[in-house]
Structure 1
Amino acid sequence: MIPFNFDYFKPETVDEALKTYTSEWKLGKKVVYFSGGTEVITFARGGKMTADTVIDVKGIPECNVLEMQGDELVIGAAVTLNRLIESNLFPLLSETARTIADHTSRNKITIGGNLMSKLGYREAILPLLVTDAIAIINGPTGTDVEPMDHLAAVELGDGRFLTQVKVAASNLELPFVHLKRTRSSKIGYPIVSLAALRKEERIRIAFSGLHEHPFRSAVVEG
């Protein structure tokens, strides 16, 4: 049970979400976005977070997209990990997501929720780092397109939320490897998790668990 009361909104457009955020924020309320809700619920029950207003982005069409658009794969922030795995449009991302939590949890955990997690692991970002994916972020000042390494290291804040991730089609079928080591089960938090692929005879590699946030290593890549 969540030990506090809050107002819940499920907007149907990006503009509606932003207007809701702004109006609630102006009233002095603490506002949070969520796309899956698993982490919000867990943290709230554990007394690690509070909120006056929760804005659920799952009703926004752009956040539910999972398809090829021209020469890009577009992934909405509200797409669940299991939906990604089953589509297998991006095999390295599918392989990485398969080791996050258990099957039941992955029906609720979304790509946006994992990428925006307050926990430092955020393993789903690893395939996106090595493919130079971009993040589409909406906020009160407009729409921003940001590189994935920026998303890995910085909290969005200021009423901004992740809407979509885009990956160039040329990176989707490259040779890859994903490895994860935990203290116990295969789906626990990683001691280290890595995703690597080969492009133009060079290895690209990103890590989770070795630092406070995931990162791509120029040193290891050489």
Structure 2
Amino acid sequence: MIGFDFDFYECFTPKEAIDVYSRLVYNDQKVYYFNGGTELLTFADRASITFNAAVGIAKIPELNVFNIEDEKLYIGAAIPLTYIVDDTMDYPLLSETCAGVADQTSRNQITIGGNLCSQLIYRNGILPFMLDNASVVVGNTDGIRILPFDKVYNNGLLLNKDDLVIQFIIDVHELSKPFYTKKIRKIGSFGYPALALAVVNDQGYLKAAFSGITANAFHSPRVDHALNNKNLPIHERVNQAIKAIPYPIIPTLQGSPPYKKFLLKNQLTLAIKKIGGEHY
């Protein structure tokens, strides 16, 4: 039960949502964009956050697209993860990665845009975007722009508070690359991961993205470089890749740093053997 009152504004265009948000902030209101609402309502119920207003964006048509046009896949930020999981044909890596997020009931409400903008460290659903040269359509009072994914998220969210995430765009040739993805929990089939990773073979070059082991989900070219050093045996490539992780491996309830390194060694070894190519 949320222990405070707030105003809710349902919007139907990106401009309307941005204008309402801007006006509320100008009037010293604490405001959030409201999409699926799972995280915002949970934190509010726990009194972890408070706010004066929420701007509803779930009914904006541009945020609800999921289609291929002119050799590009467009994914609206309001698309629930369940929809992506069920669509195994268009973007199989994203479908399998999103299938590991929470449980079925939660995925019905969690949106792909919400996973990007989460306040939690577990942004498992966006790992494929780090590897597949995704772009992001973002709007604010200065207009709508298309940004490379790493200008929106790079070891943390780079958006301004008033930015509205509208769509993700991926070239269709990126969607059929060989991939390996895995989410490992310490106990059970649900809950936060000790490790989540996605690895793709991009024309013979392996690229990997991770969640759950450091303070933020990340992709590191230094790790990729180590994974692709075919002058070394696989076990040494994996060891060098783990050493190349540019951020501290953190302890969580799901596992200690040594345990997470153990998982990393196993999973990266499996990824290389599965999709590393004929001469991995």
Tell me, in whole angstroms, the C-alpha distance in 1 between the residues paired with 2:23 and 2:220.
41
Q: Is 1:182 the equivalent of 2:185?
A: yes
Q: Which runs of 4+ in 1 moved over 4 A?
A: none
| 1:190 counterpart SS class | coil
Offset of 1:155 from its aligned partner?
4.4
Preserved contact between residue 196 and residue 204 of structure 1 (Cα < 8 Å): yes
Offset of 1:187 from its aligned partner?
2.7
Corresponding residue for 2:33?
Answer: 33
Q: Is 1:207 the equivalent of 2:207?
A: no
Tell me, in whole angstroms, the C-alpha distance in 2 between the residues paired with 1:115 and 1:187.
20
Tell me, in whole angstroms, the C-alpha distance in 2 between the residues paired with 1:53 and 1:156.
20
Preserved contact between residue 33 and residue 57 of structure 2 (Cα < 8 Å): yes
Tell me, in whole angstroms, the C-alpha distance in 1 between the residues paired with 2:3 and 2:191.
27
Corresponding residue for 1:76?
Answer: 76
Preserved contact between residue 18 and residue 164 of structure 2 (Cα < 8 Å): no
Offset of 1:112 from its aligned partner?
0.7
Gaps of 5+ in 2: 226-280
Tell me, in whole angstroms, the C-alpha distance in 2 between the residues paired with 1:186 and 1:199.
30
Amino acid at match of 1:201: G
Which one has a bigger Cα radius of gyration?
2
Does 131-140 or 209-218 show the bigger shift? 209-218
Preserved contact between residue 136 and residue 163 of structure 1 (Cα < 8 Å): yes
Tell me, in whole angstroms, the C-alpha distance in 2 between the residues paired with 1:211 and 1:136.
27
Corresponding residue for 1:19?
Answer: 19
Corresponding residue for 2:141?
Answer: 140
More strand by share: 1
Gaps of 5+ in 1: none
Corresponding residue for 2:5?
Answer: 5
1:72-105, Cα deviation, whole Å (9 max, x unpaired): 1100000000111112221000001101011111
Does 38-47 or 156-165 show the bigger shift? 156-165
The structure 1 residue matched to 2:195, chosen from 170, 192, 196, is 192
Preserved contact between residue 149 and residue 215 of structure 1 (Cα < 8 Å): no
Preserved contact between residue 137 and residue 168 of structure 2 (Cα < 8 Å): yes
| 1:124 counterpart SS class | helix
Q: Could you tell me the TM-score, scaled by structure 2's length?
A: 0.77
1:177-221, Cα deviation, whole Å (9 max, x unpaired): 101122212332111110011111111110111221111121221
Q: Could you tell me the TM-score, scaled by structure 1's length?
A: 0.96
Q: Aligned residues: percent identity?
A: 36
Amino acid at match of 1:101: A
Preserved contact between residue 151 and residue 158 of structure 2 (Cα < 8 Å): no
Tell me, in whole angstroms, the C-alpha distance in 1 between the residues paired with 2:34 and 2:174.
29
Preserved contact between residue 207 and residue 217 of structure 1 (Cα < 8 Å): no
Alignment of 1:122-141 (within 5 A): 122-141=123-142
Amino acid at match of 2:84: L
Tell me, in whole angstroms, the C-alpha distance in 2 between the residues paired with 1:186 and 1:92.
20
Alignment RMSD: 1.2
